[in-house]
Structure 1
Amino acid sequence: MPFIDSKITVPVTAELKEELKSELGRLITTLNKTETYLMVGIDDAYDLWLGGKKLDKGAYVSVSLYGNAPKEAYDKLTGQICELFAEKLGIPGNSVYVTYHPVSDWGWNGSNF
């Protein structure tokens, strides 16, 4: 039950959003999750500031998941997300924040796991 929510400073076409969604679906396996229940949100043309300066190219990515994953898996996924955003969006890794939110109570379809 992961959710990857991305706030991105650059405008992103519908086609590129599909590519990002598919790649994030592939990358979520790093946390031993599958795309089957993955929800992805992409909020583009979003204003972000880092160190008091507005970013032309930057992103904040929040990864929520039911349960937890090893620190090494989080480290690896952070690198993969930074590489993806650099390749597809031209956003350098030093302008990408990634946070992880393990959740013990997750609801879906009228009940909780």
Structure 2
Amino acid sequence: MPFIDSKITVPVTSELKEEIKSELGKLITTLGKSETYLMVGIEDAYDLWLGGKKLDKGAYVSVSLYGNAPAESYDKLTGQICSLFEEKLGIPGNAVYVTYHPVNDWGWNGSNF
């Protein structure tokens, strides 16, 4: 039950959002999860500041998942997300923050797992 929520400073076309969503669907396997229940949110043209300066190109990515994953898997996924955002959006890795939120109680379809 992962959810990847991205807040991105640059405008992103619908087609590019689809590409990013599909790539995130492949990358989530790094945490031992599948795209089957993956939810993705992409908010573009979002204002972000880092070190007191507004970013022209930057992103904050929050990854929530039911359960937990090994630290090395989180580290690997961070690299993959940074590479994806640099390749598709021209956002350098030093302007991408990624956080992880393991969740023990996750609800869906009227009940919790």
Please tell me the TM-score bracket, short chain as reference: over 0.9
| Structure 2 counterpart of 1:74 | 74
Give TM-score, length-normalised by structure 2: 1.00
Question: CA shift at 1:80, angstroms?
Answer: 0.1
SS at match of 1:10: coil
Q: One-letter code of the match for 1:93?
A: G
Cα deviation, 1:34-65, whole Å, max 9, x if unaligned, reads: 00000000000000000000000000000000
Note if 1:63 corresponds to 2:57: no
| Structure 1 counterpart of 2:51 | 51
Cα deviation, 1:81-108, whole Å, max 9, x if unaligned, reads: 0000000000000000000000000000
Question: CA shift at 1:21, angstroms?
Answer: 0.2
Q: One-letter code of the match for 1:52?
A: G
* Aligned-pair identity (%): 89
Q: One-letter code of the match for 1:85?
A: F
| Structure 2 counterpart of 1:93 | 93
Give TM-score, length-normalised by structure 1: 1.00
Question: CA shift at 1:72, angstroms?
Answer: 0.1
Distance, in Å, in 2 between the alignment partners of 1:88 and 1:20 is: 8
Consecutive aligned runs of 4 or more in structure 1 exceeding 3 Å deviation = none
| Structure 1 counterpart of 2:12 | 12
SS at match of 1:65: strand
| Structure 1 counterpart of 2:28 | 28
Distance, in Å, in 2 between the alignment partners of 1:108 and 1:86 is: 33
Stretches of structure 2 lacking an aligned partner (at least 5 in a row): none
Note if 1:106 corresponds to 2:106: yes
Distance, in Å, in 1 between the alignment partners of 2:109 and 2:17 is: 26
Question: CA shift at 1:23, angstroms?
Answer: 0.1
Aligned-CA RMSD value:
0.1
